Amino acid sequence: MTVTRRQAVLASGAVLAASGVIGRGFAAQRARPFTIGALTISWGPTPAIAGLRDGLKALGYREDYDFVIGVRFTQGNAAELPAAARSLVQSGVDIIVTSSGGNATTAAQSATQQIPIVFLGESDPVGRKLIISLARPGGNITGVSNLKPSSRQRKWRFSRSLCPA
């Protein structure tokens, strides 16, 4: 999966918006770097997490001074996601970012109702009941969805476009 610069900046914007730091003096008001906890089922940091880091840097934020990203990955074991999410919460992160699908987001949601959670690349967050709607996610969760239509939807649109109005 290749993360474009646009996707990285969008993800960074979602993280900053969810954390409430947009429009404020980010580093000037903090005694310590902003701590981002990344949660993924993958074997290591995902392209989405790398894109988040790159996007924050592209926006002028400095790693280890303005922000720190701590990654918890479960090496493909979905059963370990809840413990990894609780570990992030106990470590005192300011925000949790999830990637690699809704299982990580669900685990983070179960671990906290106070810490903002941003999901990256979830294909159907409303259908999976992670959020109420794309316009108003509700609770402590928001994110960036890839919003890819299913192949059935693409075929329907294509066949519909061939029909006379």
Strands 141-145 and 117-122: parallel
| Cα radius of gyration rounded to whole Å, the chain | 17
Residues 130-146 have pLDDT tens digits of 888 888 888 888 877 66
Amino acid identity of residue 66, one-letter, is D
Would the pLDDT of 156 be above 50?
Answer: no
Q: What predicted TM-score, i.e. pTM, was given to this entire model?
A: 0.74
What is the C-alpha separation between 163 and 141, in angstroms, rounded? 41
Of 139, 130, 76, which Cα lies nearest the Cα of 102? Answer: 130
Residues 79-91 have pLDDT tens digits of 999 999 999 999 9
Domains and CATH numbers, the chain: 5-162 (3.40.50.2300)
The pLDDT value given to residue 155: 42
Q: What percent of the chain has pLDDT over 90?
A: 25
Instruction: Return the structure tokens found at 19.
Output: 């954390």
What is the C-alpha separation between 138 and 136, in angstroms, rounded? 6
Residue 44 pLDDT level (bands cut at 50, 70, 90): confident
CA angle 132–15–140, rounded 5-degree value: 35
The pLDDT value given to residue 151: 47
The pLDDT value given to residue 61: 87
User: What DSSP letter does each residue of 45-112 carry, written as one string?
Assistant: --HHHHHHHHHHHHTT--BTTTEEEEEEE-TT-GGGHHHHHHHHHHTT-SEEEEESSHHHHHHHHHH-
